[in-house]
Copies of this chain bind each other. A is one copy, B any other.
Amino acid sequence: MTRKPDLPQLLLDTALTLFAERTYEGTQMPAVAQRAQVGVGSIYRYFPSKEALGNAAFQYAKRTLLDDLTAALADGGPVSTSREEFALLWRGFTRYAGRHHAAFVFLEHQQHDTFLAPESQALAAEVDLFAADFIERGQRSGEIRAGDPQLLVALAFGAFAGLVKHLRPGGIAELPTEALTQTEEAVWALLHREATR
Contact = CB atoms under 8 A, between A and B. Distances in A.
A186 B22 contact: no
Identical chains in the assembly: 4
Contact of A145 (B113, B145, B165, B186): B186
Q: How large is the interface on A (under 10, 10 to 19, 20 to 34, 35 or more residues)?
A: 35 or more
Main secondary structure of the interface of A (DSSP, over half): helix
B197 A83 contact: yes
A187 B190 contact: yes
Interface of A: 20-26, 83, 105, 108-111, 113-114, 145-148, 150-163, 165-166, 179, 182-183, 185-192, 194, 196-197
17 contacts: A23-B23, A23-B25, A109-B111, A110-B165, A145-B185, A146-B182, A148-B179, A151-B179, A155-B163, A158-B162, A161-B161, A161-B162, A185-B197, A188-B197, A189-B190, A189-B194, A192-B197
